[in-house]
Amino acid sequence: MKTALITGITGQDGSYLSEFLAKKDYKVIGMVRRNSSVENRGRIDNLPADVRGKIVLEYGDLQDMQSMVRLLKQYAPDEVYNLASQSHVKISFEQPVLTAQVTAIGALNLLEAIRISDVNCKFYQASSSEMFGKAEESPQNEQTKFHPRSPYAISKVFAHMAAINYRESYGMFNACGILFNHESPRRGENFVTRKISIQANRIKRGEAKELLLGNLDAKRDWGFAGDYVEAMWMMLNHEKADEFVIATGQSHSVGEFCEIAFSHLGLNYKDYVKSDPKYMRPADVNTLVGDASKAKKELGWEPKVSFEQLVKLMVDADRAKN
């Protein structure tokens, strides 16, 4: 039985990856931060009992290297997935230093913890399409130049390059997945897709009158999180540590997401969606679209859920919760 250590296990991707690995008979060690309440563990605690039974939660923090050295020595994992970060782009403008401490230096802390613990493990870094930012070419692939547009994206570039540098310097098996946006019913409520799927249902039930958003013209390459965690595992089980873009190859605007979500509930989004400066960013990324040819060819990875299916499954999941 293999052992995987996951940082960020309580997040969207952490829950899907845990589920995926548990079904492959891994023992999963999830690093969790101390909180005043354990309510943020819902995504893990609600997994089926046979899956939950293979997950052990342990305290640790990306900002606390000692806690990670302890876990690495205790469990000697075969695979380490670094999914933890301050992952909200708009909030990174409000907390730039914290974002860098967690998302950039936190990743370096973990790489150092692996190096000094001398544990023989493979390492996955959750890199982001936000690193392309104001992209110079479209679609973006592994060779596209980075032009980060936020403290979050700058931090991700640092962590990405640190993972590559530790591979080159110390021979570590460090793979970086440059993942484009991926969503699900487990997406955090303040990311745009989930904000739309929740509020469209509230409007349908008569509990709200409008949905306030920021930039409706921004375009993203949106896929399903369940498909994307499989790519993480494929990267660590590939013959060589490398970088891979993971994307659907199609881009849609925030407005299009609203259109499908509202019409799925029999509503016209134009009657309810309004733009509010409060949700605008000092610098936004207007359009991102990824070219995942390398992952398709070398890993055999393919996205399975289409954009329209994704929007509808998120709206349906939030409808069923009430």
Catalytic residues: 128, 130, 152
Asked whether position 251 contacts ligand G4F by CB under 6 A, the answer is: no
Q: Tell me the site size for ligand G4F, rule CB under 6 A.
A: 23
Residue 267 Cα to chain centre, angstroms: 30
Write each residue from 81 to 110 as x if it is in contact with ligand G4F (CB under 6 A), else as -, in one continuous string.
Answer: ------x-xx--------------------
C-beta of residue 56 within 8 angstroms of C-beta of residue 29: yes
Stretch that binds ligand G4F, among 44-52, 72-80, 94-102, 212-220 (CB under 6 A): 212-220
Give the nearest distance from C-beta 189 to ligand NAP in angstroms. Answer: 10
Asked whether position 71 contacts ligand NAP by CB under 6 A, the answer is: no
Nearer to ligand NAP by Cβ, of 5 and 261: the residue is 5
**Calpha distance 16→68 (Å, rounded):** 22
Task: Report the number of secondary-structure helices (H) and strands (E) in the chain.
Answer: 13, 13
Q: Which of residues 21-50 bind ligand NAP (CB under 6 A)?
A: 33, 35, 40
Q: Tell me the site size for ligand NAP, rule CB under 6 A.
A: 26
Which listed option, ligand NAP, ligand G4F, none, makes contact with residue 227 (CB within 5 to 8 Å by class)? none
Which amino acid is located at 221 in the chain?
D
Give the nearest distance from C-beta 128 to ligand NAP in angstroms. Answer: 4
Asked whether position 54 contacts ligand G4F by CB under 6 A, the answer is: no
**Calpha distance 196→309 (Å, rounded):** 15
Stretch that binds ligand NAP, among 115-123, 141-149, 174-182, 235-243 (CB under 6 A): 174-182
Cβ-closest residue to ligand NAP? 11
Longest dimension (CA), the chain: 59
C-beta of residue 181 within 8 angstroms of C-beta of residue 221: yes
CB atoms within 10 A of CB 261: 25
Q: What are φ and ψ of residue 155, in 5° steps?
A: -65, -40
**Cβ-count burial 217-237 (b if 16+ within 10 Å, e if not):** ebbbbbbbbbbbbbbbbbbbe
Look at residues 92, 76, 87, 168 and name the one whose alpha carbon lies nearest to residue 126.
Answer: 87
Which listed option, ligand NAP, ligand G4F, none, makes contact with residue 7 (CB within 5 to 8 Å by class)? ligand NAP
∠ CA 107-299-50, rounded to 5°:
70
3-state helix, strand, coil in the chain (%, to 5): 45, 20, 35
Stretch that binds ligand NAP, among 59-67, 131-139, 166-174, 302-310 (CB under 6 A): 59-67
Q: Which of residues 84-103 bind ligand NAP (CB under 6 A)?
A: 84-87, 102
DSSP 8-state symbol, 292: -
CB atoms within 10 A of CB 113: 23
What is the contact surface with ligand NAP in residues (CB under 6 A)?
7-8, 10-14, 33, 35, 40, 61-63, 83-87, 102, 106, 126, 128, 179, 181-182, 188
What is the contact surface with ligand G4F in residues (CB under 6 A)?
87, 89-90, 128-130, 180-181, 190-193, 195, 213-215, 218, 220, 254, 279, 281, 284-285
